Copies of this chain bind each other. A is one copy, B any other.
Amino acid sequence: MFSSYFVFRNFAQPSMEPKTLQNIAFIGAGNVASHLIPAFISSGKQVVQVVTRSLSTAERIRKEHQVEVVTRISELTPLTDIIILSVPDGAVHDILGNLDIDNRLLVHTSGSLPMDVLFSATRNHGVFYPLQTFSVERAVNMREVPVCLETNQEKYRDLLYGLACSVSEDVRWLTSKERKIAHLAAVFASNFTNHMFMIAGQILSKYDLPFDLLKPLIEETAAKVQEHHPHKAQTGPARRNDRETIQQHLDLLKNNPELHNLYQRISEDILRLYGKGKE
């Protein structure tokens, strides 16, 4: 607990608070940071320093973005307005134990971690979660990526919002619970979807058919739900209650019990959804 005297002093020294979040340090340089760093630089922000334990990543970041990169958390510069912690969820706890940031603003970029895991390191914390699937080798247009924000400090609300708007046109306030829900939904919409592509590719390659055959279909399936709700967008054997085709597909999968079961499972879901399944 802080005494009211302490809180008063804090508010009485507004000059100690930044007027804008201009100078940024990153802890971690994985998929998310690798996309945020160039986005911030393009928008005129200063990425003052990046901390990463990986020497090869350090080299890459230095070369690509001409920013200072250090490999030890103890070397973290005190000269930043905000520190963005972008490491695997499991690594957060250890890093916080070694962090001395003097109550500067600290945010993490995780979909799942509650905001208040950061409380042990600083009073001033928040979340900067870009909801997207990032891979190092693929450029993404950050301006279209929804950035989900949270902060425990009213005084940082506008500053954090301004920082997010510098890279994205889609900035939203989500609570820790809402963010966790959004992340769960994203696993279905992206990771599990990609797994369906994976299975489709395996089925094709077993018969020497190329994955290319499905690319326009995959593009259109994703484009369709940009305009129409998935409930309206659905097509296929289960949607039109075509039991004969479903049975033929199950017969084709009879030597692969896992896939047979998955096909049956999802088809029954769709049949039920459109009022044609067994109850």
Question: Which positions in A face B, CB cutoff 8 Å?
Answer: 31, 88-90, 112, 131-135, 137-138, 140, 144-146, 170, 172, 174, 177-178, 180-201, 203-204, 206-207, 209, 211-240, 242, 244-245, 248-249, 252-253, 258, 262-263, 265-266, 269-270, 273
Q: CA separation between A193 and B195, bound complex, in Å?
A: 9
Check B135 against A190 for contact (C-beta < 8 Å). no
Q: A182 contacts B213, CB within 8 Å?
A: yes
Residue of A131, A199, A242 with most chain B CB atoms under a 10 A cut-off: A199
Contact A188 B199 (CB under 8 A): yes
Q: Is the CB of A231 within 8 A of B182?
A: no
Chain B's closest residue to A148 (CB) is: B213
Knowing A265-B262, A266-B192, the reply to whether A221 touches B221 (Cβ < 8 A) is no
CA A181 to CA B193, docked complex, whole Å: 19
Complex-state Cα separation, A237 to B133, whole angstroms: 12
How many copies are assembled? 2
CB within 8 Å for A209 and B190 given contacts A216-B170, A258-B269, A266-B195: no
Interface centre among A133, A187, A200, A262 (most CB of B within 10 A): A187
Using Cβ atoms and an 8 Å threshold, which residues of chain B touch A231? Answer: 198, 201
Cβ of A200 and Cβ of B221 under 8 Å apart?
no
In contact, A222 and B221 (Cβ under 8 angstroms): yes
Chain B neighbourhood of A238, CB < 8 A: 191
The 3 nearest A-B residue pairs measured at CB: A191-B236, A222-B222, A189-B200
| A200 surroundings in chain B (CB, below 8 A) | 185-186, 188-189
> Contacts A187-B249, A203-B188, A224-B133; is A218 near B193 (CB within 8 Å)?
yes
Contact A194 B248 (CB under 8 A): no
- A249 cross-chain contacts in B, Cβ below 8 A: 183-184, 187
B198 x A185 contact (CB < 8 A) = no
Q: Which residues of chain B come closer than 8 Å to A137, judged between CB atoms?
A: 228
How far apart are the CA atoms of A212 and B185 in the complex, in Å? Answer: 12
Are B273 and A187 neighbours in the complex by a CB distance under 8 Å? no
Contacts of A199 in B (CB 8 A): 185, 188
Known: A196-B188, A270-B195. A217 touches B180 (CB 8 A): no
Given known pairs A181-B203, A184-B203, A224-B138, the reply for A234 and B195 (CB within 8 Å) is yes
Given the known A-B contacts A89-B244, A244-B90, are A146 and B194 also in contact in the complex, defined by CB atoms under 8 Å?
A: no
A188 to chain B, nearest CB (A): 4
- Residue in A90, A133, A273 whose Cβ sees the most chain B Cβ within 10 Å: A133
- Please indicate the chain B residues that have their CB under 8 angstroms from the CB of A270 in the complex: 191, 195
